[in-house]
């Protein structure tokens, strides 16, 4: 589903934490070395030659404490210095410290659209990732009752892009879908004393180990009930058109098409026939579901439907005969899609849009509409004033914040 991009560390000595000053030179060094790459914001999305991965990783790993110290000393020698020559002669020097350090792991997605579906499912299945027992696994630290900080999971939606936030003391892990092309996991250390490490720049290697290890542990701790990309691919394989080897286009079975559902319902019946079914059998089962007499459907229409079912893998032809049998995949898909349409979509929409009968679904829809209307009225009354973000408590230790 994904491949690892080059990992990057961004220590912040002062100023804006989003500064790219520590990363952009890596791109210039890679370009100078003749390495072809595709940029992803402040990182590398892909390399033209996979053999250059080791070289680019070595460039990124070159951001060491010694390199940062050398750069700062260079500019301190040129800029006005607060220490007098007598102070410097006496041995007074600046000691560099780490105010904030950010360590990120970027995994490029081979299928960006499926990647977003995957990440949204990851959020739904890991809303309890901020619990103390889960945080202890991520940071490999014991969490006791007197451990400071708020242990929680926050899901923040900026426009249409959700992000997952996990807190540990003054440290935070953020996971989000970056530019619709990659899964970015970032660990930001705001206080090195949270891990019993000093703030001196010489402690940067120890902070790197903690940050990158936390990113990897989060990915190992996270779990999925299912892979939603598989479901999206399976649905597309049925509903999307197919182009044959000869270049012919075979229409898909649209989920909301009555004729498609009549075909799926017929498949469920034909699976019970030991000798399979023939052209005539499909006509007699399909026509009544469409409100037609069998004689009203032409031979060409039935042949067209048989071809659609066969090329989408729902049926196959019995060798040396003009009869067909339902495949295992076809039965599973037909049963699920017909039930979802009949028992879920049709029934649910009838409860919402039908007569005002008191049902749980209608009550939930009404409550949601009232909440949206109240929020809109509150925003109109306040004018330009900010509206506090609503908070929904999931468990005593897990909350979702929406912005």
Q: Provide φ and ψ at 104, rounded to 5°.
A: -125, 150
**First vs last Cα of the chain: how many Å apart?**
30
Shared domain check, 363 and 347: no
Average pLDDT over residues 371-398: 58
pLDDT at 352 over 90: no
Average pLDDT over residues 32-47: 84
Shared domain check, 37 and 166: yes
Establish how many alpha carbons lie within 13 A of residue 176's alpha carbon, considering only the half-sphere containing its beta carbon.
17
- For the chain, the domain total comes to 3
More confident residue, 19 or 79: 79
Shared domain check, 270 and 191: no
Q: Which of 157-166, 190-199, 231-240 is modeled with the greatest confidence?
A: 190-199
Number of C-beta neighbours around residue 165 at 10 A: 17
Average pLDDT over residues 270-294: 90
Which of 311, 335, 351 represents a domain boundary (last residue)?
Answer: 351
For residue 80, give both structure tokens: 């006005």
Question: What ranges make up the beta strands (E) of 244-314?
Answer: 249-250
Shared domain check, 150 and 277: no
Nearest Cα neighbor of 257 from 272, 241, 271, 246 is 241
Shared domain check, 345 and 301: yes
Residue 393 is predicted with a pLDDT of 36
Shared domain check, 156 and 279: no
Nearest Cα neighbor of 283 from 264, 257, 271, 301 is 301
Shared domain check, 130 and 154: yes
Shared domain check, 194 and 98: yes
- State which H helix or E strand residue 127 sits in: none
Shared domain check, 127 and 47: yes
More confident residue, 119 or 387: 119
Domain that holds residue 302: 230-351
Shared domain check, 328 and 360: no
Which of 176, 206, 226 represents a domain boundary (last residue)?
Answer: 226
pLDDT per residue as tens digits for the range 180-206? 788 889 999 999 998 889 999 999 999
Q: What is the mean pLDDT of the chain?
A: 80
pLDDT-derived band at 367 (thresholds 50, 70, 90) equals confident
Which of 226, 242, 273 represents a domain boundary (last residue)?
Answer: 226
- Report the distance separating Cα 103 and Cα 134, nearest Å: 20
Establish how many alpha carbons lie within 13 A of residue 401's alpha carbon, considering only the half-sphere containing its beta carbon.
12
Shared domain check, 295 and 190: no
More confident residue, 62 or 14: 62
Least confident of 5-9, 16-20, 74-78, 189-193: 16-20
Shared domain check, 285 and 200: no
Q: Are 138 and 218 in contact (CB under 8 A)?
A: yes
Q: Which residue has the tokens 């109109």?
A: 380
Q: The domain spanning residue 264 has which CATH number?
A: 1.10.10
More confident residue, 224 or 32: 32
- Report the distance separating Cα 397 and Cα 389, nearest Å: 18
């Amino acid at each position: 589903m994904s491949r690892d991009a080059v990992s990057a560390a961004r220590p912040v000595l002062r100023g804006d934490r989003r500064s790219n000053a520590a990363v952009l030179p890596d791109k210039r060094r890679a370009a100078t070395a003749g390495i072809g790459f595709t940029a992803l914001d402040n990182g590398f999305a892909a390399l033209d030659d996979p053999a250059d991965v080791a070289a680019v990783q070595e460039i990124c790993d070159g951001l060491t404490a010694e390199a940062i110290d050398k750069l700062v000393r260079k500019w301190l020698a040129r800029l006005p210095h607060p220490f007098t020559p007598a102070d410097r002669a006496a041995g007074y020097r600046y000691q560099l410290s780490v105010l904030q350090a950010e360590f990120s792991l970027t995994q490029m997605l081979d299928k960006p659209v499926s990647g977003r579906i995957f990440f949204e499912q990851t959020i739904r299945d890991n809303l309890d990732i901020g619990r103390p027992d889960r945080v202890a696994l991520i940071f490999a630290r014991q969490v006791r009752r007197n451990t400071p900080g708020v242990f929680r999971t926050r899901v923040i939606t900026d426009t249409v892009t959700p992000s997952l936030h996990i807190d540990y003391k003054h440290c935070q892990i953020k996971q989000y879908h970056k530019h619709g092309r990659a899964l970015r996991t970032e660990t930001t250390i705001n206080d090195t004393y949270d891990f019993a490490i000093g703030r001196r720049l010489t402690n940067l290697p120890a902070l790197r180990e903690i940050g990158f290890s936390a990113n990897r542990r989060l990915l190992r701790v996270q779990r999925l009930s299912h892979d939603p990309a598989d479901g999206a691919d399976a649905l597309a394989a049925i509903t999307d058109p197919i182009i044959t080897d000869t270049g012919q286009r075979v229409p898909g079975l649209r989920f909301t098409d009555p004729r498609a559902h009549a075909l799926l319902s017929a498949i469920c019946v034909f699976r019970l026939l030991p000798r399979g079914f023939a052209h005539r059998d499909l006509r007699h089962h399909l026509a009544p579901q469409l409100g037609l007499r069998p004689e009203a459907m032409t031979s060409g229409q039935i042949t067209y439907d048989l071809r659609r079912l066969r090329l989408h893998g729902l049926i196959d032809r019995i060798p040396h005969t003009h009869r067909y049998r339902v495949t295992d995949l076809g039965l599973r898909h037909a049963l699920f899609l017909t039930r979802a349409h009949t028992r879920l979509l049709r029934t649910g929409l009838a409860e919402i849009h039908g007569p005002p009968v008191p049902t749980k679904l209608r009550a939930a829809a009404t409550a949601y509409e009232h909440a949206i209307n109240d929020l809109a009225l509150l925003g109109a009354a306040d004018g330009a004033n900010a509206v506090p973000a609503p908070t929904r408590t999931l468990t005593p230790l897990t909350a979702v914040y929406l912005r």
